[in-house]
Amino acid sequence: MTHAIVLIAAERSALATLGGELADIDGVAEAYSVTGEWDFVAILRLREHKQLAHVVTGEISQLHGVMRTHTMVAFEAYSRHDLEALFSVGQ
């Protein structure tokens, strides 16, 4: 599984609708509207690494109002939920 974080800068006119459009893309697990330099953060969870280029450049970047993106691919994924589940097996 490939996990990635995509930072998205958007045109002001797209701020009201872009979050929902991001969340509707297959492979986008979560989309957040955020403060700061970037307008949105999309969390991607993909079965295969080769899907990454399609989702980021073929889908996210093509949405109306997306000005630029910055993608970070995770080496490892850590989750408190996953760790708690691992250590609670058999208890």
Q: What pTM does this model have? A: 0.85
- Please state the φ and ψ torsions of residue 83, each to the nearest 5 degrees: -65, -40
Q: pLDDT digit of tens for each residue in the chain (91 aa)?
A: 999 999 999 999 999 999 999 999 999 999 999 999 999 999 999 999 999 999 999 999 999 999 999 999 999 888 766 556 656 655 5
What does the pLDDT read at residue 70?
A: 98
What does the pLDDT read at residue 77?
A: 81
Give CA separation, 60 vs 44, 80, 82, 83, 91, in Å.
Answer: 11, 28, 28, 31, 43
Domains of the chain: 2-87 (3.30.70.920)
